[in-house]
Amino acid sequence: MKNDLVASICIFGSSARRNVDELSDKDVLIVSNDIDFLDAEKKKWAGRGWSVASYTVNRFENLINSKSLFIQHLKVEGLIVSDFGGWLERKLAAFVPKSSYMDECYRSVDLIRPIERLLNSHVSSFFAADTLYVGIRNIGVNLLASRNAYVYDFNEIILELQDHYGFSNDVASILKSLRSLKVAYRNRNFSEHTVPDLDELIAVAKAAVPWLVLDTIKPNAPIRPLNCGYARIREVEAWCLNNFSIVDLDEESAPKIVNSLWRQIKNPSGYSWAINRFDERTAKKLSKVQPSLRTSKTLTDEKKVPARSFLP
**Domain layout of the chain by residue ranges:** 7-94, 105-301
What pLDDT does 18 receive?
84
Residues 298, 190, 241, CA angle at the centre, nearest 5°? 45
pLDDT digits (tens, 9 = 90+) for 233-280: 899 899 999 999 999 999 999 888 889 888 888 875 555 444 555 566
**What whole-number distance in Å separates Cα of residue 207 and Cα of residue 165?**
9
pLDDT digits (tens, 9 = 90+) for 17-67: 887 788 878 999 999 999 999 999 999 999 999 999 999 999 999 999 999
Residue 31 CB-half CA count within 13 A:
27
What pLDDT does 44 receive?
96
Question: Higher confidence at residue 23 or residue 302?
Answer: 23
Helices in 118-197 by DSSP H: which ranges?
A: 122-145, 154-165, 169-186
The alpha carbon torsion through 12, 94, 39, 186 (nearest 10 deg) reads 30
What pLDDT does 304 receive?
46
For 7-94, which CATH class?
Answer: alpha beta
What pLDDT does 52 receive?
92
Which of 121-130, 171-180, 241-250, 278-287 is least confident?
278-287
